[in-house]
Each structure stands twice: as structure tokens, then as C-alpha cells.
Amino acid sequence: MRFVAALAALTLFGVIAAVGGSFYVLWHFGKGLPEYAQLADYEPAVVTRVHAGDGRLMAEYATEKRVFVPLDAIPRRVVKAFLAAEDKNFYSHPGIDFLAMARAVVQNVKLLANNPNRRPIGASTITQQVARNFLLTDEVSLDRKVKEAILSFRIEQVLTKDRILELYLNEINLGFRAYGVGAAALNYFDKSLDDLTLAEAAYLAALPKAPNRYNPLRNLEAAQIRRDWVLDQMVEAGYVRADEAAQAKTEPLQVRRRDEQELVRGADYFAEEVRRELVAKYGEKMTYGGGLSVRTTLDPRLQTVADRALRNGLIAYDRRHGWRGPVDRIGTGAGWEQRLALIPAPAGTTDWRMALVLSTDREIAHVGFADGEKGRIPLSELRWARENKPEQKLGPPIERVDQVVKAGDVVLAEAIGNNTFALRQVPAVSGALVALDPHTGRVLAMAGGWSFEASQFNRATQAMRQPGSSFKPFVYMAALDKGYTPSTVVVDGPISLPQGPGLPNWTPKNYAGDSLGPVPLRVGIEKSRNQMTVRIGVDVGINRIADYAAAFGIHPNLPRHMSMVLGAGETTVLRHTAAYGMIVNGGKKITPTLIDRIDDRNGKTLYRHDQRPCQGCGGIAYQSQAAPIIPDLRPQIEDPVTAYQMVSMLQGVVERGTGVSIRELGRPLAGKTGTSNDANDTWFMGFSPDLAVGVFVGFDQPKSLGDRETGSSICVPIFKDFMGEALKDTPKTPFRIPQGIRLVRTNPETGRLARPGDKVIMDAFRPGSEPMTSDVADESEAGSLGVSGTGAPLPTRSPASGSGLY
């Protein structure tokens, strides 16, 4: 009896000690644990997706690429695959699977006896993995395992099994930069979860243990073995039949990248500008993990056209200024293929290839490539490559191949057919092109440079450059609002203005150094006359011109110097293009935007560019009734009559002036060239009735583009190429004429009514301001400024009609 009593007492003591020890363990390891209740409202970081205007994906921003999918939207086949592979007893255990744990202990004893350095086999439940992934670290230690177990019990008390499984399936790292099953299905197989086969679902379930080890691109055999193991586990758990699993095992494991047709390529500058705007508006955390859905204004077709037109224009300029030498030099002896392969290609070479000149003769350069292929570059493809000399000068004409390349030169080459290649070089010059809808401000295309890979600096939005003569239309609109007409005669002749005490007078000159004398206002725009523009600026006043620059968004505070009338005030291509859009849209204020709409992860709209109300538009089925009237909320910043007069004058630039080569397109187009001092900046800004386009070309570190280079020679061809392709197969819509315009047949060279035999245009006037005679004005009438088209003195203020800057 004493023995029994002692045994009972010892047992009781042991139970008390065990219970006490358990409570101590729970207290010791449980104190300071992360707050697990937060998981009830946890929203995992989700990828922000940016879409083009046609809905195609163009960019994703995320620290962890994850597409959150609710559990009830995940196919049961996928759920069962993960349960079979990771936690068969998930719906029956309390957070810890004691049976699986005991089995793992036995296996680990056997394995560690043979290999003490082997990593132990785990028996973590899905709940434990949620605790580890969300609240703990991946540290391998007893301390962490105890904390993980305690948290698992606690999590099971506050979350349902379905919520725990939902968190797990959306949080787990599955490799390929994919977090969660939704992102993994896209990244591995280019499919939604609903479209996965049994074999593909089993493969995804094989990844949690070691996604890098089972990467099918590196370890295909190991990946297939692990996938087949998951299929066997699904059979064992009763989730699929044995014949279904056997059939799935025969399916090849193939990674399928996303369909190129479903992705927008080449809009890197546009996408980066969107990213910067998102970060500025919502911060980095929201941008990279908030699951935003961003619908942009990008037109992928126009973006492709813009990139091609700008690149071709930069290449054309670069070729005119000669060859800057080979990329590198190496030996042509044995092993040249390997040596060539080690030389990095210059950034932005696209589909050009690195080639080694193996030998030359007078007419041909024989070249080889790193893959052993050989070809030839004929002399005809080298004649452009005259030596590039300082100040954009050129060396002598090319008569022999060895004037350009020699054996051992590493060069860039582009295939042109029949084993023949053309010599190429990455342009040193850069530029930008912006195309936008002038009625809404929606940016349809943006090319910010030669190559985003070479430079992420966006010359469309970040480069502040002098617009040169492309600023003149805003000076002339100020004059039109003051009472000038397109036929007003102004002297284009020498003018000298004081700059201040101790400074010499400023004496602007025309580009060619000549003067035309008294000519109509229209000629000043069409021929880009500097002296005439300065005279107009003096009469209108620099303060008023600065008001126009601010109203049109070109420059918020233009310096009050008369040189600003010739475009010395810096702006960006995007701002300037929007300003031209406000001319062609009839003087309505627009704000350029790259984003139409932003929705949060739950579909709630956070931002919408178009703020126009539409009363009674919701919940109505269309039954051929009249469309609702949506109000136009755009502020009127310029008189529509003045705006159209400027459109007409800029159309003359294309018909008879510095942009005359564009006339070959046979479409209603208008615009203005621009060239800054020393030809550091060149521009062409123009539009059709429904598309405004700005082109800029210049060196990133401003320097002269060359004595004979202008906006006409560099930017006009780019604009022409873009518009020719962008407007192909579209109607030839004429420019819209507002009320209050009277069209009169005039001679554009004199501004007078047209006579038989004259050149004739239909010029735009306010009623009562049109010329009344076809007689040529006497030059003596044109004083220091000029005379009106009727011979009457120029008005000194806006007409009583109230036209002017609104």
C-alpha cells in the first residue's frame, strides 16, 4: 500500500510538474509573440497592374508579385492539390498535426543517424506555415518551432479554416517572382487558375517546399518527379482517381510565357512616367503593394509608330554627322568568337548584332558573329560613315572600306538580306515625341528617348529646353487679340532694343540673315521671321505674352525679357504639345494626362481624369433613345476665332513655309518649326484636327546640332513619318471653323484681296476686319511697326467684341 501511495503521489507530482511546465513553456514562449488577431483583417500586398487604353497589360509594380484570389474563386482541383501535398489533415487538426509530427520524428532519427548535417524533415501544417510566413521568420530552431506551434493554436481560435487556407494560398512563395497561386498560374503557364490542368495544379502544389529546386527551366527532371509525387498524394487522399493521375503524369511539364499579343511592349518611358505619378499620389507602399488597377491613355499602335518615327529620325541625323568609330577592337585569330561574345553590346542596340571585322578589301568588309555566322558589309552601306569631326564637321567622302573599318574592329551590324549587313551605330543625339488628344489632353503616345535601356531620363517630361520659334504662335495670338489680322503688314527689318544699363543693345537677326521688309502677319509665321516677331512683341508687350505662356501651360512665370518672344523660355515637350492642342481645339483648356482611371483592389474608383457629370446615365438600357448630353467643363482660355486664325496661319507653314515637306501627305495638317540659338534645340509642333504632336531633338548636354541643322531638317521628317502612319486609313477631316469667322480669298504674299493670276488662299477674318482692296500697300505706309491690311492705323487695344485672353 505504501508503494501504491508513493507511486500515486509521484504520478500526481509528475502530472502537476508537466502541467506546470506546459504552462511555463506557454508563458515563456508566448510572451511577446506577434499579434495574431491582425490576420483576421489582413490584406496581402498585391501587384499594381497598369493597362493600356485597349486593356492590354503594359506594366506591373510589386515587391512581391501577387494576384489575390478569394478561396471560393480558387478551383477545388488546385485546393486539393495543395492539401494533398502540404496538409492532408488540415480540416481536422487543431493547428498541429501530432500524427504527422511523430512520423517526422521517426524519419528524422533514421536520416540524421546516417547524415548528421542533413536538414530535418518538417511536419508543418498549413496553419503553422501561415504563422511562420506572416508573423515569424524562417529561422531553423526549437525556439521558433515552439512559438510557431503556440501561434498556430491561437490562429485556429480566431480564424476559420477557410480563411487560413485563403491566406496561405495567396501568400506562399512559388518562385518565378510569383507569390500566391494566382500569380504562379500566370507566370508559369500564362493561364488563369480555372484553366489549369490537373498536372499543372499538381506542379504548383509541388513548389512550396523548394521553388528554386523544382524550377522546370533548370531542373526539369526533379520538377517532374515532385509533380508526380503530388499526384500520387492526391490519389492516396482520394481526391483523384488513379487513372486520372496516370494520365496527368504523361503531360509534359512546359513553362509558357505570357502571350506577347496580350502585353504592350516598348512603352517603357510612358510606364515609368505613370509609376512616378502613382508614387507621388499614393506613396511607394500603395504603388508596390496596394493592388491598384490603372487604366492609362496609351494607344499601343500609336506608341509603336512614335518609337519607330523617333528612332528613324535620330538615326538619319546621326548618319548625316558621320562615324564615331568601332565599339571595341579584338584579335581576329583563333577563338575570336568567344572573345566577341564577352564584349557587352551598347545599350539600346535592339535587333542589331555585334560583329567582328575579319578582313577587308576595297569594296567589302567581311564580318563574323559570336555564333560563328559570317557575312559581308558592302561599301554602299559604309558611304555614310565619314569621319565625325569636332563641331559636327565631316571627314572626306568614303571611297574604300578601310577608310571606315579595319580587321579587328567590333561594330554593330543590321541584317538587310542575302547574308549582307549594314553598318550601324547608336546615335549620340536624343529626343522625344508626344502625341495627345487635343480635346481631352489624353496622352496617346510618348517616346522619351532613343532607348529606355540606355537612359531612363524622359526627354518628353523631364528635359527643360528652349522651344525657339515654335513659341511664336502664342506671340502672334496675343497680337491677333489686340486687333491684328492675318493680313496686317509688319516690317521684317533690323531692330535693336536696349537691355539695361551697361549692356549692349539686343539686335536679333533672321535665320538666313536677310530681311523681307513689309510683309503680312501670316508670312511672319510661315517663314519664321525673327525681326518681325520682335516688333510684334514690343507692340503687344512682354507682360501680355507671359500671360499667354502661363494660360497655355508653357511656362508658369515667363521671364520678362524680350528675347522670350523668340522662344528663350524653357519648357517640356509634353507642356508644349498640350499648348498646341489648345490652339486646335478652339482655345479650350486641357490638362495632359497619362491616366484615365485608377481603381483600388476592391474595384472602388480612386481617380478619374474625366470629371464630367452624366445625369441619368446609370442603370439605363439603350433602346435607340437620344444619347445624354454631357456638359463641356473645359475653361475657355482663348477666343475660338483667334484660335482658328492661328490654325489657318500654321496650316500655311505646312503649305508654303518651313514645314512644306509635310504637304506631301495630302492631309489637313498644321504646325511650326523651332530652332534655338546655335541650333542646340530643334522642334516641330503640329496637329491634325484631332491629334496634336510635338517632336524635339537635341543633345542631353546642350550643344550645337550643326550649322545647317534646324527644326525643318531634323524634326519635320519625324513628324511627317509619324503622322503619315498614325493617320493612315482615317478620313481627311478638315479643321473645324467656329462661328464668327469670315473666309476671304487673299494673296498670302501681300495680304490683299486676290486678283486674277495671284496665288490664292482662303484666309480667316473677323467680319469687318478683312481687307477691302487688292491694291498693294505702299511701303511708306509701313512705319516702324506696320499698317493694317486695310491701310488703317493699327488698333492699340482689343476690339470691342471682347476677343482676347479669357
Alpha carbon separation from 267 to 429, 441, 460, 594, 699 (Å, rounded)? 20, 18, 13, 12, 22
- Identity of the amino acid at 589: K
The residue annotated as part of the active site, out of 86, 156, 277, 638, is 86
**Contact (Cβ atoms closer than 8 angstroms) between residue 742 and residue 770:** yes
Please answer whether residues 466 and 680 qualify as being in contact, where contact means their C-beta atoms are separated by less than 8 angstroms: yes
Which H or E run includes 300? Answer: helix 300-320
The per-residue b/e assignment along 240-277, b for 16 or more CB within 10 angstroms, e otherwise, is beeeebeebeeeebeeeeeeeeeebebbbbbbbbbbeb
Verify whether residue 779 is a known catalytic residue: no
Secondary structure (3-state) at 298: coil
Kindly write down the DSSP assignment for every residue of 330-353, as one continuous string.
---STTHHHHHHTSPPPTT-TT-E
Q: Cell numbers of 746, please?
A: 487673299
User: Among the options 152, 451, 469, 688, which is catalytic?
Assistant: 469
In angstroms and rounded to an integer, the radius of gyration of the C-alpha atoms of the chain is 36
> How crowded is residue 393: how many other Cβ atoms within 10 Å of its Cβ?
13
Residue 468: left if φ>0, alpha if ψ -120 to 50, beta else—which one?
left
* Strand partners for 178: 65
Question: How crowded is the C-beta side of 389, counted as CA atoms within 13 Å?
Answer: 6
In sequence order, the 6+-apart residues with CB closer than 8 A to the CB of 494 are: 507, 515, 531
Say which DSSP state 259 is in.
P
In this structure, are residues 493 and 531 in contact, taking their beta carbons and an 8 Å threshold?
yes
What stretches of 588-728 show up as alpha helix (H) in DSSP?
640-656, 711-726
469 is catalytic: yes
CB environment 1-31: b (16+ within 10 A), e (fewer): eeeeeeeeeeeeeeeeeeeeeeeeeeeebee
> Across-strand partners of 492?
517
Round to whole Å and give the CA distance between 160 and 97.
17
Kindly write down the DSSP assignment for every residue of 191-246, as one continuous string: --GGG--HHHHHHHHTSTT-TTTT-TTT-HHHHHHHHHHHHHHHHHTTSS-HHHHH
Element (H, E) at 490: strand 489-492
Q: What b/e readout covers 443-460, taking b as 16+ CB neighbours within 10 angstroms? A: bbbbbbbbbbeebeebbb
Is residue 309 within 8 A of residue 725, CB to CB? The reply is yes
User: Could you give the residue numbers annotated as active site?
Assistant: 86, 469
